[in-house]
Amino acid sequence: MLAIQLTQFGEPEQSLKVVDIPEPGTPAAGQALIQVEYAPLDHHDLLLAQGVYPVRPELPSVIGDEGAGTVLAIGPDATRVRPGDTVLLPFGTFAWSEQPRG
């Protein structure tokens, strides 16, 4: 699965890399697996990459803090969404990744 990953805080053109990461597994309790349909690049993402935004994930980390998509699967105890629902990604869910389509 390809993702844009932040490797260090600094200038985005030097600190953001396209990497291959493991595909997500089956959702755990209270989780949902979402096919991201829209994940924009906005100024918050660039500020995060530079290290000046209040959110500072542990590195390396996929970033991209906004998005919308379709629920593919839910884990046990996930009661607010169902497969097929269109959802906004919760704050802190980083979305710049893509699972190849077969």
Average per-residue pLDDT in the chain? 91
Out of 53, 68, 72, 93, the active site residue is 53
d(CA 52, CA 4): 19
pLDDT for position 85: 97
Encode pLDDT of 67-101 as tens digits: 999 999 999 999 999 999 999 988 778 888 877 65
pLDDT for position 102: 52
Instruction: Specify whether the CB–CB gap between 30 and 73 falls below 8 A.
Output: no
Instruction: Specify whether the CB–CB gap between 29 and 79 falls below 8 A.
Output: no
Domain boundaries, the chain: 2-98
pLDDT for position 65: 84
User: Is-catalytic flag, 53?
Assistant: yes
Of 10, 14, 7, 35, the C-alpha closest to 98 is: 35
The third-level CATH classification (topology) of the domain covering 2-98 is Quinone Oxidoreductase; Chain A, domain 1 (3.90.180)
Q: Which residues contact 25 (CB under 8 A, 6 or more apart)?
A: none
DSSP state of 26: S
d(CA 52, CA 25): 32
**Average of per-residue pLDDT across 17-41:** 92
Question: Does the pLDDT of residue 48 top 80, yes or no?
Answer: yes
